Structure 1
Amino acid sequence: MKTYLIILVLLLTLTSSCQEKKTEKKMQATKTEKFNWQDGSSCPIGYPIEVYRGGFEAEDGTYVSLQAGTDNGEGGWGDPGTGGMSSGIKTVPNRLNVQWVAYAENCVYEINTEVDYDKMVQYFKEGYQESLVFFNKGGKYEKETYSYIVVGYAPDGAVYIWLAGSGKQVEIGRYQGKKVVIPQAEIDKLDGFEKLMHQKGESERIMNNPEMVPPEIREANKNKPIPFGLWDRYRERYSWRPIFNSIQEGWSMIDCGIDMFNGENESLFDQSLVKNEFEKRAIPKLINIGWRDKTGQNYSGTFWFDEKEIFDAFHTIFKDKPNGEAEIEIRISKGNMDISAFLIGNGKETGINMKTKVEIFEARTKY
């Protein structure tokens, strides 16, 4: 009986070990999905950064360096710019391990963290419908997918990751780095730009370089503290949708593009425009609309919202009902030469036009 029990225990141990190894292999297998993507980096304009060391790491040992020179944020928050040096079919990363210089703060940050692999794979597989493809191919639906994994570096070591593609960008997550000091002995061994980025006075030189920080941005930020936490505020989400209204007869909407302060963007067209469902979205930075009058003449209009005005409007509308719903009603004049926007919801209405920049374009041809 004693021998039997020993054998039984050994068998159970072996079985458990095999199951654990199978589970481990299965988990590893789920972290080796590959897609065609390129790395990109982003920072807020006025707060240039430069990656010193590191990049994306994947479960299968794949490594993608994120060193790509100084990023000045010219393309806007979340924009991948020209991208990094690595483009092609690669494994989706599950870690971010980077050290970067934050020139506005004159310091180095480091982050070594797991990133949301599963969420990225899900988005890559699902893809999306892109309006330019739809309209250029006569209303034919063809699924697009994302082409960039973008890392955004904000002040105070805040790090954000997006997937970006043509006409669509989604946030993957927000992560936190910490300040580190690079040993002088390590710096002394460096060559060229790697050594230069750590030299005394380099941060000041970068911040005073008009190609790195535009003069108007430097002047606007002069004597003001760095707005730590601002880019987390941009991530506020509310349930809202755009709606469209005109007193003219026979008009129709074509499409609507939305760029949000948190770096995300999306397009509504055809069925998504018809359904136009409420979604938990960040606050819009820009809304572009396309419409057609009864003669077939096409128009497009763009709203560039003032940051303070539109944030104040959302906070007013959602103050008492943070989980409520609201609509940005866009009103098109009878002559198609004037558009205005109003935020309506939870029993309240407020205009968002006082400081909003508006532009209207009339297409040369009719469709």
Structure 2
Amino acid sequence: MNKAIKFLLSFLFFIQISCQDKKSNQKTKTMTKYEWTEGTSAALGYPMEVYKGGIECEGGEWVGLNFGIASGNQGWGTINNGMSNGFKSLPKRLDFIWMSYLENQFYQVDTEIDTEKIRKYFSQGFEIKGASGKPQHLNYDVISVGMAPGGVVVVWISGVGWQKEIGRYQGKKVTIPESEIAKLDSHENRFWRKDYLEMVHTREQIIPKKVQEENKGKPIPLGLWDVYRTRFSWKPVFELPENAKLNPLRDVGIEMINGEKEQFDAAKNPLSDFDFRAIPRSISMSVSDKDNNRYGAACNLDGKSSLDAFNTVFGDDPKSTKAELIIKVNEAFSFFTVKLKGENGKEAFIKTDSLEMFKSKKKN
């Protein structure tokens, strides 16, 4: 064998080994597993249930989502179900059919999702104050799929105190063939049973009585959950009594109407720069007075009042200005107000629901 042939064979062998190593490295990267559990979410008053299907993950892993009704009683974005906690590869595709009970309509979604965005968040994790007040680095460990009327699907990832939207997807209306329904057992065919549908519509544990009455005779507000995703440039600002301060050992927690959640380090001033966020839904915090007495405080924000306030300040253009969400605590540490104030001079108060402010303990 002459030298030229030997060289050619050696070169081809080297190329083959290099390609195998590259494929092996790519497979290792793709198959990195993280510890997480799956969950589903729905909007208050509009229960959903997956009929069949779930999440396809990298490497061919599969996670089912058909584990019961997502009632939405805890609000859009809140996880109603969770099944299998363990190390799994990351999601890459949604493929499932679900029932939107108030519409009496099945929808199907079959779409790729942003795996790299999920990977980035899972790899970075987040910071949160622990029980001792010291920052702790935690990881995202839940992937939730939200279903809203009109075939809207939203995917979030979440960890303690944090939730981030990954993407919004659109399902299409589908009809289950009679031939398929005929093969189902008495439990599987519940989606078509009159008694079961009546139960879903009337049981208070699924749709609270107050919500049933408020929604009676009203059309389903299709498109509302896309409105919730609108982002505005705002930041939280606190106005406290003299010599009072936010408790630096506790984070300030704010939930948004699009299902996202953030934790703000109370030891920082300002807490945050302006950032594009959805409209806030709830606020929780801890405040210390001049004598170092601590007060816990929290509230929900009235949804209509919040939408009206942001419309007043920003008008038809979410990018028209920047605004401060001013949380003002009274001198007696018994109450606080919430006001949105824009750099354009426009401002509006936001009504609060379930507001509480209570003395906790004195700092040692």
Using the size of structure 1 for normalisation, the TM-score is 0.87
Q: How much has 1:341 moved relative to structure 2?
A: 1.8
Aligned twin of 2:245 = 252
Whether the aligned pair in 2 keeps the contact of 1:159 and 1:175 (CA below 8 Å) is: yes
Query: 1: distance between equivalents of 2:57 and 2:150?
Result: 26
**Local SS of the residue matching 1:118:** helix
Query: 2: distance between equivalents of 1:322 and 1:219?
Result: 33
Aligned twin of 2:160 = 166
Gap change, CA 1:330 and 1:178, over 3 Å in 2: same
**Local SS of the residue matching 1:170:** strand
Whether the aligned pair in 1 keeps the contact of 2:295 and 2:361 (CA below 8 Å) is: no
Deviations 1:171-208 (A, max 9, x none): 11100111111111111111132112233564333212
Aligned twin of 2:5 = none
The one of 110, 117, 126 aligned to 2:115: 117
Q: How much has 1:355 moved relative to structure 2?
A: 5.7
Aligned twin of 2:236 = 242
Gap change, CA 1:76 and 1:353, over 3 Å in 2: closer
Matches within 5 A, 1:316-327: 316-319=312-315, 322-323=318-319, 324-327=321-324
Gap change, CA 1:354 and 1:125, over 3 Å in 2: closer
Aligned twin of 1:230 = 224
Deviates more, 1:301-310 or 1:317-326: 317-326
Q: How much has 1:321 moved relative to structure 2?
A: 5.9
Gap change, CA 1:30 and 1:227, over 3 Å in 2: farther
**Local SS of the residue matching 1:192:** coil
Q: Quick one: which amino acid aligns to residue 251 of structure 1?
A: A
Verify: 1:363 aligned to 2:357, yes or no: no
The one of 282, 292, 295 aligned to 1:299: 295
Gap change, CA 1:21 and 1:348, over 3 Å in 2: farther
Query: 2: distance between equivalents of 1:226 and 1:45?
Result: 12
**Local SS of the residue matching 2:219:** coil
Gap change, CA 1:279 and 1:298, over 3 Å in 2: same
Unpaired stretches in structure 1, ≥5 consecutive residues: 1-10
Gap change, CA 1:105 and 1:357, over 3 Å in 2: same
Whether the aligned pair in 2 keeps the contact of 1:318 and 1:346 (CA below 8 Å) is: no
How high is the sequence identity, in percent, across the aligned residues?
A: 37
Aligned twin of 2:8 = none
Query: 2: distance between equivalents of 1:146 and 1:247?
Result: 36
Q: Quick one: which amino acid aligns to residue 281 of structure 1?
A: R
Whether the aligned pair in 2 keeps the contact of 1:33 and 1:121 (CA below 8 Å) is: no
- Measured on the aligned residues, the alpha-carbon RMSD in Å equals 2.5
Query: 1: distance between equivalents of 2:271 and 2:239?
Result: 16
Gap change, CA 1:223 and 1:124, over 3 Å in 2: same
Gap change, CA 1:93 and 1:344, over 3 Å in 2: same
Query: 1: distance between equivalents of 2:22 and 2:226?
Result: 37
Matches within 5 A, 1:60-139: 60-83=59-82, 85-131=83-129, 133=130, 136-137=131-132, 139=133
**Local SS of the residue matching 2:58:** coil
Number of equivalent positions: 349
Q: Quick one: which amino acid aligns to residue 187 of structure 1?
A: I
Q: How much has 1:282 moved relative to structure 2?
A: 0.6
